Chain A
Amino acid sequence: MEESKQLACNLSAYRSLFVARFVLLLQYRTAALAGIATQLFWGLIKVMVLAAFFSSSAEAQPMTLSQAVSYVWLGQALLVAVVPWSGDREIQAMIRSGAVGYDLLRPTDLYSFWLTRALAMRTAPVVLRALPLLTISLLLFPTLELNEWALAVPDSAAALIAFLLALIGAIVLSAALTMLLTVSMLWTISGEGINHLFPTLIIVFSGMIIPLPLFPDWMQPLLAVLPFSGLLDQPFCLFVGSLPPSALGQVLTHQAIWISIIILFGRWLVKRGVQRLVIQGG
């Protein structure tokens, strides 16, 4: 009871923490530059593989090559935001050393405190990377006569708005999953196992490797139910037009349900972990 009351009236604390973290993470410009180069390279490879696949396949595909290519570029540009690659290394180091108990000295709800950091961690780096990558794929490729490889703008303003709203949901979902990875450290000694296994599942089932519409039909129901399609596939389908803007409500509902479940589970994990911590000591 007390915790939730505190939470409600202490939003400015979380906002300030977010801003501080965000500004701090914007300083990693070299990492961003390296990230842009890597993601551009992988993007080109994926685009070429898709082009080869589409030209060699006679069957009708669930999405056009241009849609698939746009899907890939969005993924490369927004990678850091929507794919929870890893937990928060600083918090994990604190958990490992036992220093995490000292975070309890602040009059804040620990889960919200950490989720705020995860949100900053998912949003700040993407600001540096998304704009250059989108510019290259949207504007540079067409001028180089590489229209097949370019990112195509959405058909309508409605599609763009639907995409942007679903993207916000995707980032929150991604931050909530990041928290699960972070707090897994409270339960395993090194946390490395979960931190390697989980991201691999995520990049496959979110559509990062192959766009989800290109997966076999029998997998589609499973892919649609899992939380990971809400990270990447569904917002991107709204952008490229494989999903109509009217599907936004459905996409947001799917995200909201999973966000609630994951946050509740994360809160429970943190609560149990902290209980153990305050009883057993750091």
Chain B
Amino acid sequence: MPHIVVEDLRKTFWVAEHAPGLWGAVRGLVRRNTRAVEALKGVSFSLERGELVGYIGPNGAGKSTTIKILSGILVPSSGRCRIDGRTPWHDRISHVARIGVVFGQRTQLWWDLPVIESFALLRDIYRVPPAVYRQTCSELIELLELEPLLVTPVRQLSLGQRMRCDFAAALLHRPDILFLDEPTIGLDAVSKLAVRKFIKALNQTQQVTTILTTHDMDDIEALCDRVIIIGGGEILCDGSLAQLRSQVSSRRHLRIDLQPGQLGGQLLRFPVAGVNLLNQVGDSVTLAFDPRQISAAALIHRITEHYDVADLFVENPPIEEIVAELYANERDPQRETTGGENGGV
């Protein structure tokens, strides 16, 4: 049985609005217009125990709303959700005792307390038995390298340090489900890598079911085998990264470094169907091509016939581009999804 089941989750917010300006404010006193905003329009998915899923979408797509509902702090307008046999918003207290939540945008630690005292407080709040706490705490301190931070008040930590402490705080009670809401936001490269490594290790060694929301596609590529993409309150795509790529666009990129001096400052001219020039910087050229029209081998052959090539490699378009295209298609369903002559960028 899946660990998390979400069925046809809907959430409508009522937003009060009044016309701008003084007259609008006066009218608003008498008659208030409320407008329904559908944050979720029937979201369904299920997660097996130990799965690590990337949950991505543009701002306002409904990511946070979903996470809040799954955490039991927001009640949906309709729909069902079973997590380990619990309905989050009905069994809030017993539910939150079994999950861990990390928000990149805010801390769950006590601002003025030294880190270790925040941990002790969480131990009492979650009623972690002393022996379990000692073991979990020392494990986390070692894994996340928290030893030098423990006596520092949270407000004096850097963002990267605070994030590591927040991870530890979310895991002290050994939850079997983890919701990570933009955990790498604002982090420097080193901290990002450390956080990713930790998430990966946690998922692999402890089988913690994890939902990760992020805008950082490197997070997704490094961590998630499966991605769910949400836009406008609906799921646009649910599957592996490879499936996502093929659903949106089969186009690949070919990067070529030419031996210098062949182009003489001109743009590379290469009139072959299904191939277009993406960009050209000096002697380095990137082409986009559709493997259904011309295979990579054939394309490379054609190029080496005409030019002296120093180096070349074939790559998938960055996941950002795929996602951007998916969002764009969502806004404009008429657009060609396979990417025409101008597509792919």
Q: A residues engaging B (CB < 8 A)?
A: 2-3, 6, 9-10, 12-13, 15-17, 20, 24, 99, 101-102, 104-109, 278-281
Given A105-B108, A278-B89, A20:B74 Cβ within 8 A:
no
Distance in angstroms between the alpha carbons of A274 and B110 in the assembled complex: 22
B125-136 to A contact mask, C-beta < 8 Å, 1/0: 111000000000
Inter-chain contacts of B307 with A (CB < 8 A):
none
Q: Is B120 an interface residue (CB 8 A)?
A: yes
Given A2-B94, A104-B92, A278:B106 Cβ within 8 A:
no
Shortest CB-to-CB span from A118 to chain B, Å, is 16
Given A3-B93, A20-B113, A280-B14, A105:B73 Cβ within 8 A:
yes
Given A10-B127, A20-B110, A101-B68, A106:B96 Cβ within 8 A:
yes
Q: Is B214 an interface residue (CB 8 A)?
A: no
Inter-chain contacts of A15 with B (CB < 8 A):
124
Inter-chain contacts of B72 with A (CB < 8 A):
104
Partner pick for B73 among A3, A9, A104, CB 8 A cutoff: A104
Inter-chain contacts of A105 with B (CB < 8 A):
71, 73, 96, 101, 108
Partner pick for B74 among A12, A24, A281, CB 8 A cutoff: A281
Asked if A2 and B93 sit within 8 Å, CB to CB, the answer is yes
Distance in angstroms between the alpha carbons of A102 and B71 in the assembled complex: 10
Inter-chain contacts of A3 with B (CB < 8 A):
93
Asked if B108 and A16 sit within 8 Å, CB to CB, the answer is no
Starting from the known contacts A17-B124, A107-B126, A278-B89, 10 additional A-B residue pairs (CB-CB under 8 Å) come to: A9-B127, A13-B127, A16-B125, A17-B121, A20-B110, A24-B113, A101-B74, A105-B96, A108-B125, A278-B75
Shortest CB-to-CB span from B110 to chain A, Å, is 7
Chain B, interface residues (CB within 8 Å), range? 20 to 34
B49-91 to A contact mask, C-beta < 8 Å, 1/0: 0000000000000000100100111110000000000000101
Inter-chain contacts of A101 with B (CB < 8 A):
68, 73-74
Q: Which of B73, B74, B101, B110 has the most CB of A within 10 A?
A: B73
Distance in angstroms between the alpha carbons of A9 and B101 in the assembled complex: 24
Inter-chain contacts of B92 with A (CB < 8 A):
104
Shortest CB-to-CB span from B140 to chain A, Å, is 19
Distance in angstroms between the alpha carbons of A6 and B65 in the assembled complex: 27
Contact residues of B between 98 and 115, Cβ < 8 Å to A: 101, 103, 106, 108, 110, 112-113
Which residue on chain B has the smallest CB distance to residue A279?
A: B75
Shortest CB-to-CB span from B27 to chain A, Å, is 19
Asked if B68 and A281 sit within 8 Å, CB to CB, the answer is yes
Q: Which 3 A-B pairs have the closest CB atoms?
A: A107-B97, A16-B124, A104-B73
Inter-chain contacts of A279 with B (CB < 8 A):
74-75
Asked if B94 and A107 sit within 8 Å, CB to CB, the answer is yes
Distance in angstroms between the alpha carbons of A12 and B91 in the assembled complex: 22
Which residue on chain A has the smallest CB distance to residue B126?
A: A107
Inter-chain contacts of B93 with A (CB < 8 A):
2-3, 6, 107-109
Asked if A16 and B121 sit within 8 Å, CB to CB, the answer is yes
Distance in angstroms between the alpha carbons of A257 and B26 in the assembled complex: 44
Given A16-B120, A106-B125, A278:B73 Cβ within 8 A:
yes
Inter-chain contacts of A106 with B (CB < 8 A):
96, 125
Asked if B125 and A17 sit within 8 Å, CB to CB, the answer is yes
Inter-chain contacts of A13 with B (CB < 8 A):
121, 124-125, 127
Given A102-B106, A279-B75, A107:B96 Cβ within 8 A:
yes
Which residue on chain A has the smallest CB distance to residue B110?
A: A20
Shortest CB-to-CB span from B233 to chain A, Å, is 14
Q: Which of B103, B106, B125, B126 has the most CB of A within 10 A?
A: B125
Asked if A107 and B125 sit within 8 Å, CB to CB, the answer is yes
Which residue on chain B has the smallest CB distance to residue A12?
A: B124
Distance in angstroms between the alpha carbons of A17 and B65 in the assembled complex: 29
Shortest CB-to-CB span from A19 to chain B, Å, is 9
Asked if B121 and A281 sit within 8 Å, CB to CB, the answer is no
Asked if B13 and A104 sit within 8 Å, CB to CB, the answer is no
Distance in angstroms between the alpha carbons of A20 and B112 in the assembled complex: 10
Q: Is B117 an interface residue (CB 8 A)?
A: yes
